[in-house]
Amino acid sequence: MAANTELTVEQKLQALYKLQVIDSKIDKLRSVRGELPMEVADLEDELAGLETRSENLEAEVKQMEASISANKTQIMDAKANIKKYEKQLENVKNNREFDALNKEIEIAGLEVQAAEKRIKNLQFDIEQKKVTKEALLAELDGRKVDLKNKKGELDTIVDETEKEEKGLIDMRDKAVKGIEERLLNGYNGIRANVKNGIGIAIIERNSCGGCFSKIPPQRQADIRQRKKILVCEHCGRVLVDPQLAEEITL
């Protein structure tokens, strides 16, 4: 640390700000990588939803087909009854019996008609469901392709960002060496407690770039001088002028 005491305030600020640039890049890489698995998970959910819908449709069609069978049985039974009544008609003894049998035949005939109508409706519904299912299966195939591509993309990005991150971490290790412990601890402490990852802030529109509170003109002028390390009175972040930030390249 002895060598650091030879650094000017300006050099200290530059070193600290360089660290911020590196850390912001690392943060961004990690957040990009963090979002992709969620996109994959969303696609997987969507796929599962489509599969469930397709299975439900299949079950509904099966149920309707069973219903058609039941109606066909009803028709056969009703027709058998009609035949039976017609046979009985040949041996009727009186008008009352004749009327009663004819009534039964009429009722059975209506039952046949009703069952035939139900079968027709069910067949129509089954056709509709089949069309819906076809569309669903086509969508499912499309989503499967999407998922495969997304997973490939994820693998590639994970690979690339991990390499890039390693490079940045090496750079960070070097950058940290030039910064005195007190400043580094302050910087790390703030970063650990904020969501935006800003540990050292630039003056932006007369405000602290970390917490956005106004900075008095005189203090801004002092910061531009780069003769003293000055912090935001509101959030405690070390402040630098925008020109200094622009001078930093990795």
Q: Pick between residue 186 and residue 210 the one whose CB is nearest to Zn ion.
A: 210
d(C-alpha 5, C-alpha 139), whole Å: 66
- To Zn ion, the closest distance from the beta carbon of 38 in angstroms equals 31
- To Zn ion, the closest distance from the beta carbon of 16 in angstroms equals 15
Distance from chain centroid for Cα 70 = 45
For residue 44 the two structure tokens come to: 């997987």
Q: Are strands 200-204 and 207-208 parallel, antiparallel or unpaired?
A: antiparallel
d(C-alpha 103, C-alpha 95), whole Å: 12
Taking every pair of Cα atoms in the chain, the longest distance, rounded to a whole number of angstroms, is 131
Q: Pick between residue 96 and residue 205 the one whose CB is nearest to Zn ion.
A: 205
Site for Zn ion contains 122 (CB under 5 A):
no
Contact mark string toward Zn ion, 3..22, x via CB under 5 A: --------------------
- To Zn ion, the closest distance from the beta carbon of 216 in angstroms equals 13
- To Zn ion, the closest distance from the beta carbon of 192 in angstroms equals 16
Contact mark string toward Zn ion, 177..216, x via CB under 5 A: -------------------------------x-xx-----
- Identify the helix (H) or strand (E) that includes residue 240: strand 238-240
Q: Pick between residue 52 and residue 213 the one whose CB is nearest to Zn ion.
A: 213
Q: Pick between residue 161 and residue 210 the one whose CB is nearest to Zn ion.
A: 210
Q: Pick between residue 85 and residue 187 the one whose CB is nearest to Zn ion.
A: 187
d(C-alpha 236, C-alpha 185), whole Å: 12
Q: Pick between residue 82 and residue 201 the one whose CB is nearest to Zn ion.
A: 201
Number of H helices, E strands in the chain: 5, 3
Contact mark string toward Zn ion, 209..248, x via CB under 5 A: -xx--------------------x-xx-------------
Kindly state the number of chain residues that form the binding site for Zn ion, as judged by CB under 5 A.
6
d(C-alpha 56, C-alpha 227), whole Å: 73
Those residues whose C-beta lies under 8 Å from the C-beta of residue 110, and which sit 6 or more positions away, are none
d(C-alpha 191, C-alpha 179), whole Å: 16
- Identify the helix (H) or strand (E) that includes residue 200: strand 200-204
- To Zn ion, the closest distance from the beta carbon of 145 in angstroms equals 48
d(C-alpha 91, C-alpha 94), whole Å: 9
d(C-alpha 34, C-alpha 195), whole Å: 15
- To Zn ion, the closest distance from the beta carbon of 139 in angstroms equals 50
Q: Pick between residue 115 and residue 232 the one whose CB is nearest to Zn ion.
A: 232
- To Zn ion, the closest distance from the beta carbon of 24 in angstroms equals 17
Binding site for Zn ion (CB under 5 A): 208, 210-211, 232, 234-235
